[in-house]
Amino acid sequence: MRIDRINVYSAQLPVKNGVYRMASADVEALDSTLVEIVTDDGFAGWGETCPIGPVYQPHHALGARAAIAEIAPGLIGLEIASIRLLAKQMDERLNGHGYAKAAFDMAFLDLLGQKLGVPVSTLLGGALTDRVPTYYSLIVGPPDETAKIAADKVKAGYPRLQVKIGGRNLEEDVAVVHKVWEAVGYRARIAVDGNRGLTVAAAIHLDRLCQEVPFVFEQPCNTMDEIATLKGRVTHPVYLDESTEDQNAVLRAISLGIADGFGFKVTRLGGLTKMTTVRDLCAIRSLPHSCDDAWGGDIIAAACVHLAATAEPRRMEGAWIAQEYIKGHFDQKHPVVIKQGHIAVPQRPGLGVKPEPGMFGKPVAIYGP
């Protein structure tokens, strides 16, 4: 099974019901990049990368497609057998740009799974469950409105809520945390996500003003060095998210003891294959983590769920997917959907999802004969 052709598509994903609001940016639509790898024996594997704008991470859609243009020509004719060898070939074509390489990594695993007749979760070490928890992300909003949505989502079965804060007065952030806690109590776990939007001083103030509310504090400050200064000064567990830009950053955070858990993004860390390394590092230190991505459709959603299924359930904080915020699915027959706060692990070979033929229109780029 050798790579015959690579098609690259762009899919616009408008945010359903308005704006997705975080501390760093307001997002109304996302530009997702999809990679279709076609082999000489008729298989087609899919990958996806979808940065949530150009500010949230050092990634952007045009950058992904520029990186793909550097990598793709060198993959034509290569055999889909050793994922590690294919990763080496990509690194020899382009340094860094893991978020673009992640789309290829997904497609390689999709192809290999189809060829072997097994789901991608099997290739990642084997699923420990047939469904994984997800969580609902509450955007930056007014306290009472946010608390009402939180209560509704817990009633719908979500076991965990992520409360976005930052980019406004500290008093309003504190009020949101208290209101959400009053609305849901111990019926759901709470993560308070600063998205890098707080100063060290503001993070310490919020921690103390919400001391009686049990939550994990996710990426309150911009850099890992800033977050390191919080150690011993805050009472809530601190999780890293945006600072985990590669495997080395995760290893550094674990070695320094500054992270009590992580919010991992599959594309940011370079793909599913590299994510298995940080999954296993977390297992060694018994650190909880999520298996998410910034945004995307059914391809990214399936990838996140396959990986989440291979993590120890008691350490799995959830697989966040964008389904609640986008309309429709790439695969109408086998969509990745949330039911009562959980997602069924696809059981078909490969990723288990296939975009509807022609739904993305003409490719924005084609590599190969």
What positions carry a catalytic annotation?
Answer: 164, 265
368: Cβ contacts below 8 Å, ≥ 6 apart: 3, 4, 5, 6, 38, 76
DSSP state of 215: -
**Quick one: residue 20, left, alpha or beta (phi over 0 = left, psi -120 to 50 = alpha)?**
beta
Block residue for tokens 């695993």: 109
What separation in angstroms does the CA of 42 have from each of 1, 78, 115, 170, 177?
Answer: 9, 15, 10, 56, 52
Query: How far is Cα 155 from Cα 133, in angstroms, rounded to an integer?
Result: 15
Block residue for tokens 């955070």: 253
Task: Quickly list H helices, the chain.
Answer: 61-71, 83-93, 98-116, 120-123, 143-155, 170-184, 200-209, 224-228, 247-256, 272-285, 298-308
Residue 137 · residue 172 · CB < 8 Å: no
Block residue for tokens 């500054």: 258
Query: How far is Cα 135 from Cα 129, in angstroms, rounded to an integer?
Result: 17
* Token pair belonging to 45: 């594997």
* Token pair belonging to 303: 């990838």
* Token pair belonging to 268: 């940011």
Q: What angle do CA 11, 12, 17 make, to 5 degrees?
A: 140
3-state DSSP of 102-130: HHHHHHHHHHHHHHHCCEHHHHCCCCCCC
Query: How far is Cα 88 from Cα 96, in angstroms, rounded to an integer?
Result: 12
What separation in angstroms does the CA of 57 have from each of 13, 281, 361?
Answer: 18, 23, 28
